[in-house]
């Protein structure tokens, strides 16, 4: 195809040849220019929209400005700081509880067992070391989240271990014969040591405590253990003996009725007999003894709830 161009009556004639190739090249060039111009206008317009109207930019393309990103990060960093402050406060409270627990154990543990307790491997004694809940701010929010999560997990593990430790300590203490063998309404009339024998009037060793109450009053085990004796004795009358941990044995004498058998497992506070006046006795009472490795102990060293009148 050819086009002829005449600019005037006397001008020369110009001929332009139009081929398919030339048309295609022209169309492609025009399209490229238009696309490039459109992209440029879109980019420039979007940058202006981001700076002038962030909300419009978000609605159009899901774009967040740097200022908005910093604002969001600041909010999350503040929440992380609050979380760490809460964890630090929790750690401090747990330390205070640990201190109170140690004071309780000091009071509740019999004097002659405190050294033993401190050396027990299975008791897991010793101070509680809190996990590190500190943070050095970084520029990466993801790193901050990861650090906070690690601190939280460490605190969880520490609290779990501490709970298990306390449970072990309490179980150990609960298994010692530190309870009182009577309920309410009793009196301690004769303590441990040298006294005048009520039958002969001569000085004699009294190897236990005498609890006076009404006949039939319940007698309870002062700790969990196994009944090793339940029968009759000329001096003790009806008597029950229970074996406990750490080589302890407790003896309950002058009973009116025995309610357990040899080999039976009993729990702390479980009724094992009824008070009476059998055997070598001048009246209704419970004669209570504590032994460790066959050596007689003063029960007041074990009975944390015994009144001062037993001294």
Q: To the nearest 10°, report the CA torsion of 102, 103, 107, 109.
A: 0
128/81: higher pLDDT = 81
Taking the C-alpha atoms of residue 181 and residue 209, their distance in angstroms, rounded to an integer, is 10
Residues 6+ apart with CB under 8 A from 205: 193, 194
Q: What would the mean pLDDT of 24-44 be, rounded to a whole number? A: 57
Q: Are 118 and 102 in contact (CB under 8 A)?
A: no
What pLDDT, on the 0 to 100 scale, is given for residue 279?
92
285 band by pLDDT with thresholds 50, 70 and 90: very high
What pLDDT, on the 0 to 100 scale, is given for residue 240?
98
DSSP, collapsed to helix, strand or coil, labels residue 232 as: strand
User: In this model, does residue 291 exceed pLDDT 70?
Assistant: yes
What is the tens place of the pLDDT at every residue in 232-282?
999 999 999 999 998 999 999 999 999 999 999 999 999 999 999 999 999
Q: Are 270 and 308 in contact (CB under 8 A)?
A: no
163/105: higher pLDDT = 163
Taking the C-alpha atoms of residue 261 and residue 240, their distance in angstroms, rounded to an integer, is 9
132-146, 155-169, 193-207: which has the highest mean pLDDT? 193-207
Work out the burial of residue 170: count CB atoms within 10 Å of its CB; fewer than 13 is exposed, 13-18 middle, 19 or more buried.
middle
User: In this model, does residue 126 exceed pLDDT 50?
Assistant: no
122 band by pLDDT with thresholds 50, 70 and 90: very low
What pLDDT, on the 0 to 100 scale, is given for residue 198?
81
Q: What percent of the chain has pLDDT above 70?
A: 63
Pick the range with the lowest mean pLDDT from 117-121, 241-245, 282-286.
117-121
Q: Are 268 and 181 in contact (CB under 8 A)?
A: no
Q: Rounded to 5 degrees, what are φ and ψ at 242?
A: -130, 135
Taking the C-alpha atoms of residue 24 and residue 46, their distance in angstroms, rounded to an integer, is 32
User: In this model, does residue 77 exceed pLDDT 70?
Assistant: yes
User: In this model, does residue 309 exceed pLDDT 50?
Assistant: no
Length of the chain: 311
241/136: higher pLDDT = 241
Of 157, 155, 174, the closest CA to residue 224 belongs to 174
Tokens representing 296?
A: 């007689």
Q: What would the mean pLDDT of 93-117 be, rounded to a whole number? A: 68
pTM for the whole structure? 0.59
Pick the range with the lowest mean pLDDT from 4-13, 81-90, 144-153, 185-194.
4-13
Work out the burial of residue 222: count CB atoms within 10 Å of its CB; fewer than 13 is exposed, 13-18 middle, 19 or more buried.
buried
What is the tens place of the pLDDT at every residue in 172-220?
888 889 889 998 788 888 888 888 888 888 888 888 999 999 999 999 9
CA 108-98-153 angle, to 5 degrees, is 140
Q: Token match 């139009």: residue?
A: 18
300/12: higher pLDDT = 300
Pick the range with the lowest mean pLDDT from 95-99, 103-107, 221-225.
103-107
What pLDDT, on the 0 to 100 scale, is given for residue 121?
44
What pLDDT, on the 0 to 100 scale, is given for residue 191?
85
User: In this model, does residue 125 exceed pLDDT 60?
Assistant: no
Q: What is the mean pLDDT of the chain?
A: 75
What pLDDT, on the 0 to 100 scale, is given for residue 201?
80
Residues 6+ apart with CB under 8 A from 252: 181, 219, 239, 240, 241, 242, 272, 273, 286, 287, 288
* Crossing angle of helices 141-174 and 66-108, rounded to 10°: 10
């Amino acid at each position: 195809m050819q086009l002829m161009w005449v600019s005037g009556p006397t001008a020369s004639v110009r001929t332009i040849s139009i081929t398919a190739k030339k048309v295609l090249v022209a169309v492609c060039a025009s399209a490229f220019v238009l696309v490039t111009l459109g992209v440029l206008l879109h980019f420039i317009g979007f940058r202006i929209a981001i700076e002038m109207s962030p909300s419009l930019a978000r609605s159009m393309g899901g774009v967040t400005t740097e200022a908005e990103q910093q604002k969001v990060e600041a909010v999350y960093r503040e929440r992380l700081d609050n979380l760490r402050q809460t964890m630090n406060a929790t750690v401090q409270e747990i330390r205070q509880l640990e201190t109170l627990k140690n004071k309780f154990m000091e009071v509740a543990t019999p004097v002659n067992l405190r050294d033993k307790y401190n050396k027990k491997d299975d008791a897991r004694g010793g101070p509680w070391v809190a996990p590190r809940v500190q943070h050095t701010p970084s520029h990466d929010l993801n790193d901050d989240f990861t650090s906070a999560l690690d601190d939280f997990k460490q605190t969880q593990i520490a609290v779990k271990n501490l709970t298990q430790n306390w449970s072990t300590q309490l179980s150990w203490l609960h298994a010692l014969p530190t309870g009182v063998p009577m309920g309410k309404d009793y009196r301690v009339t004769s303590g441990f040591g040298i006294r005048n024998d009520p039958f002969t009037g001569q000085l004699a060793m009294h190897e236990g405590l005498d609890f006076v109450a009404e006949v039939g009053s319940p007698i309870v085990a002062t700790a969990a253990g196994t009944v090793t004796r339940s029968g009759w004795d000329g001096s003790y009358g009806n008597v029950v003996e229970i074996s406990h941990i750490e080589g302890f044995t407790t003896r309950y004498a002058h009973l009116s009725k025995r309610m357990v058998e040899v080999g039976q497992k009993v729990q702390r506070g479980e009724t094992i007999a009824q008070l009476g006046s059998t055997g070598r006795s001048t009246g209704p009472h419970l004669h209570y003894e504590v032994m460790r490795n066959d050596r007689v102990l003063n029960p007041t060293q074990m009975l944390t709830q015994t009144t001062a009148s037993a001294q």
